[in-house]
Homo-oligomer: A and B are copies of this chain.
Amino acid sequence: MLRQEMHEFVVNTRGRGFYEITEPVAAWLRGLHARNGLLTLHLRHTSASLLIQENADPEVRRDLERFFSRLAPDGDALFQHTAEGEDDMPAHIRTALTTVNVSIPVADSCLALGTWQGIYVWEHRHDPHGRRVAAHFIGE
């Protein structure tokens, strides 16, 4: 019998960087006794991202930061939307280049993530923020 469940996660960030949410999401699904279905997460912001990336060597995430900082540098003279600070427009750019939605099947009571995949909120602003992630599960 198919059913759906919804939740909102709040992730309190401490500035630019990666905040893994794989375990709280998996714990929510375990609490629902979700066996098979589809999980969707939607980040309700325009200056942070949801990213599925390697959860092993943390140097991967530091290199992601280095790359995106070079690609869309804080304070780039190209940008006109600067009222909220030098990191505001680069944050919107990073969000546009990545994503705010992920949909992942749930099979045999587990998220169908690969061995090395973790789900991260990627904060692009330097200041701390409370980031809200809407979650939806449909299945059995």
Contact call B134/A44, Cβ cutoff below 8 A:
no
Interface residues of A, Cβ cutoff 8 Å to B? 2-4, 6, 8, 36-38, 40, 42-46, 51-54, 57, 59-60, 62-64, 66-67, 70-72, 78-81, 83, 89, 92-93, 95-105, 107, 112-117, 132, 134-136, 138-140
**Does the CB pair A46–B54 fall under 8 Å?**
yes
Chain A contact residues, majority secondary structure: mixed
Closest residue of chain B to A47 (Cβ to Cβ) is B54
- Identity of the chain B residue whose Cβ is nearest the Cβ of A38 in the assembled complex: B136
> In the bound complex, do residue B45 and residue A117 qualify as a contact, i.e. CB atoms below 8 Å apart?
yes
Q: Is the CB of A38 within 8 A of B2?
A: no
Identify which of B3, B43, B97, B113 contacts A98 (C-beta below 8 A): B97
Across-interface contacts of A132 in B (CB, < 8 A): 114
Within the assembled complex, what's the spacing in Å between the Cα atoms of A115 and B54? 30
Contact: B42 with A4, CB < 8 Å?
Answer: no
Bound-state Cα–Cα, A71 to B95, Å: 15
A89 and chain B: residue at smallest CB distance: B63
